[in-house]
Structure 1
């Protein structure tokens, strides 16, 4: 039965005629690297930003959204202080050059809701500090309609209520600058779609708390991540089953519909094997079939320094990675 369903999923993907979702793209990772070295590290040695030119490959495939990771501490070396001019210039070079190509950029402070490993909501990193960071960043990019604001990557190790309060403070600070840009809001506990209703390991379920975060402009979507390996971490090249992609998204999709909210699948991926191919195809078809609540998706990952990382979509010697073939039915009209 599973083999028959998997074959059906692949056939459906190959024959997909529906228009692609509004956002489809990739998380470009590398500017947040080097956090375990003497921090903040040396630019060009410990971390780099992706080049604007490197986005041409993804744009040619039909992608239109680039999520770029960076570190809060590098951009704002002192809480409540000015943004670092050199680091801001590096980020701006990528953002301005990429959006000038007609692409959109999702800003991704890749910090897990912490500053120098101290989580937001602790006395050392109050909600006001997180709001101040986003106020300053919004002022820099609010006039570029192709820039989107991802509040932070994968909050963890904190009460869900604390994260919701911090997120609301950041949303309010962004809107008080006059910025109208799209905001993406992650949940607690690594923002997994499959753990949105979890009540054991990360605190109060996101399903019970995160809906209270509001945007006065209603230009905000939830950002969830989902992998298809055994523990949902994306660290194993093997996926659980051909149908796991759909299975891990269904309940969250129903929650979106019931609560009249929308979401972006901000990270997904799978190793280059037949089971993961089927799982990914099933997940992407599920998103497309529920386009009333899903706005798009981003593959994890790309960027210039991944080497032979099994999830990297960076072309190798001018050749596409196998997973790019899986995505093509969902990239172009």
Structure 2
């Protein structure tokens, strides 16, 4: 099977950089995190179709970041997974793997469960560790499946998040998995805020306390290019700041002998935003000693056609951002498959 060998940050620092160990080119395939908990499958939420998965594989993407909801998979803390939901997740993982792409499992919960923050009385850190222990038992033996601990933790102190992340990492390793783990920071894990003390201690300072017995993890950051770096505005007015922020995190990664993944980034369709998209890809792919790769946000079968960042094809036609990404990818022939 084609795929990327998922090797840890410290290992990569001492091994030759090659297309087999770096340069992940990913797409976020949204849908399983849509709707409200309790919505029926196929009405409130969906998983990506085989057709969509094949489309992105055919374009040269090598990874799928797969968002889903923790509460749907595990409706009760410390309990077994919902059988039907676990089956849907597993089937989608296999579709991605058969297409020759790596899967990044992404509980898209913002460090929350049913609205309650991890580390509070309703959601103890041990419950988060239990969730990851169960997930790693199911998926932790395959080299082409990676574990993204959590999407965009926010409004949680960096020290508290590091404690929760370390508990989850320990549970994954105690379950016998050596899989690559993606560790986000707090403050929405923004590259622009990595060294800013939004909640006190910065990610740049706190993340040195991450502990992995396998030393097989990378840091995940996200970065958008609009006025407030949220990705919600139909413009890219902070493009230069976003590119610099990503470059600065890359410097931090190299200084700390670590690597990162740009897990979300995107631009709207305006022509002036396309060059910025190329710049973001270039920052990552020209620094393989700092970056494992990137994953664009987003695509998926249920995105509205007019959603500004969406690159799901419409009537078999590529979106402008897809053409830009393909151009950027073609300029680095040593990357990818």
Structure 1 and Structure 2 fold alike (TM over 0.5): yes
The residue number in structure 1 matching 2:263 is: 266
Q: State the 1:327 CA deviation.
A: 0.8
**Per-residue deviation, residues 41-95 of structure 1 (Å, max 9, x unmatched):** 1111000111133111111111010011110001001000001100000000100
The residue number in structure 2 matching 1:33 is: 34
- For the residues of structure 1 that align with 2:56 and 2:242, how far apart are their CA atoms? 23
SS in structure 2 opposite 1:224? strand
- For the residues of structure 2 that align with 1:19 and 1:325, how far apart are their CA atoms? 22
Contact 2:74–2:80 (CA<8 Å) still a contact in 1?
yes
- For the residues of structure 2 that align with 1:45 and 1:246, how far apart are their CA atoms? 38
Question: Residues 328, 281 of structure 1: CA spacing in aligned structure 2 closer, same or farther, 3 A cutoff?
Answer: same
- For the residues of structure 2 that align with 1:149 and 1:64, how far apart are their CA atoms? 16
The residue number in structure 2 matching 1:91 is: 89
The residue number in structure 1 matching 2:286 is: 289
**Per-residue deviation, residues 176-235 of structure 1 (Å, max 9, x unmatched):** 111111110000010001100112x33321011012102221210001000000100001
Structure 1 stretch displaced more, 240-249 or 129-138: 240-249
**Per-residue deviation, residues 231-271 of structure 1 (Å, max 9, x unmatched):** 00001121115534422212211111111110000000001
Contact 2:57–2:100 (CA<8 Å) still a contact in 1?
no
Q: 2:122 aligns with which of 121, 124, 149?
A: 124
Q: State the 1:19 CA deviation.
A: 6.8
Are 1:158 and 2:144 matched, yes or no?
Answer: no
Q: TM-score, normalised by structure 1?
A: 0.90
Q: Map 1:2-41; keep pairs closer than 5 Å.
A: 22-35=23-36, 39-41=37-39
Are 1:105 and 2:103 matched, yes or no?
Answer: yes
The residue number in structure 2 matching 1:148 is: 146
Contact 2:190–2:222 (CA<8 Å) still a contact in 1?
yes
Q: How many matched pairs? A: 312
Q: Map 1:1-333; keep pairs closer than 5 Å.
A: 22-35=23-36, 39-199=37-197, 201-240=198-237, 243-307=240-304, 308-332=306-330, 333=333
- For the residues of structure 1 that align with 2:129 and 2:325, how far apart are their CA atoms? 36
- For the residues of structure 1 that align with 2:64 and 2:34, how far apart are their CA atoms? 17
| Uncovered stretches (5+) of structure 1, i.e. residues with no partner | 1-17
